[in-house]
Amino acid sequence: MVSTLLRLGAVAALVLASASAHAACTPAITDDNLIAPGKLQLSINPTNPPQQFVDKDGQLQGLNVELAAELGKRLCLPVELVRMDFPAMIPALNAARIDGIDTGMFWTEERSKLMYMVPYAIQAISVVVAPDSGTKIATENDLIGKSSAVEVSSYQMNWLKKLSDASVAKGGAAVEMRTFPTATNVVSALLAGQVDNALLVDSVARDLTSRGRVKEVLSGLGTARTTLGFRNKTVVDAVVKALNAMRADGSYQALFDKFGLTAMPADQPLAIAGPGPA
């Protein structure tokens, strides 16, 4: 399953820094801690602008792409971004096919036991409808009894399921939840009239709204930290050190300002959150 979802090759992976670019420095991570010698392999799902997306020339762009490139410079190590759908990422990490996940993954207690998670941003969930829709959604309870599109195995899906289950437990109606592999598929289903609304990461919803593709009707749901995820303790320790160096010299905040996203508050650490894998 994982192998079919890994999209390898020239169009599927982007090496953000060449080995020759680091010839004058010593890598912060040795080969015995990496999946493939001499490079750090991170998964990414480029369907969530402005976090990560593919531009008109087929190139990966976005905050997480530039973050990976900067981390590579500071680690003195080429970073390869491997494109795959989100449901395949955690299995791929656990199967030692990639070193880490760089896709704006929400922190959850369950996930924090499967990998070393490093919160680095704050995001929430937004509800969107088609631009010409007259659907009124003023509170989260207005989602009850309606059909909603969400990305499968996502934080949005789990949040919506809890809302629906709580309603049913009280004798109310459920949410008709329809799942799709990517945010692109979610939006396509919405615009095709297959669902009443869709739940997206707030930054994605704002980007699509600014381009007139959807209309945001509710935001700020389920605010939580988004993270990088890693399988190896030596790797994550090196990344945490690099992130804190970026925070100290201002490049971390500058990156978030550039893309209009929310960095971790200054009083919250850039550090491993949770126990990590057993």
Residue at a domain's end among 193, 223, 253: 223
Q: What is the pLDDT of residues 172-221, one digit of tens each?
A: 999 999 999 999 999 999 999 999 999 999 999 999 999 999 999 999 99
Query: Which pLDDT score, from 0 to 100, does residue 21 have?
Result: 54
In which residue ranges of the chain is pLDDT below 70?
A: 1-23
Burial of 53 (0-12, 13-18, 19+ CB in 10 A): buried
Q: Which two tokens stand for residue 243?
A: 């992130």
The verdict on residue 13 lying in a domain is yes
CA dist., res. 262 & res. 256, Å (int): 6
Q: Tell me phi and psi for residue 217, to 5 degrees.
A: -115, -15
Provide the number of structural domains found in the chain: 2
Spatial CA neighbour of 8 closest among 92, 91, 114: 92
Query: Which pLDDT score, from 0 to 100, does residue 12 have?
Result: 43
Range of the domain at 189: 124-223
Query: Which pLDDT score, from 0 to 100, does residue 115 have?
Result: 98
Which pTM was predicted? Answer: 0.89
Residue 219 and residue 181 share a domain: yes
Query: Which CATH number is 64's domain given?
Result: 3.40.190.10
Q: Work out whether the CA dihedral 157, 162, 165, 170 comes out positive or negative.
A: negative
Residue 230 and residue 140 share a domain: no
Residue at a domain's end among 198, 223, 248: 223
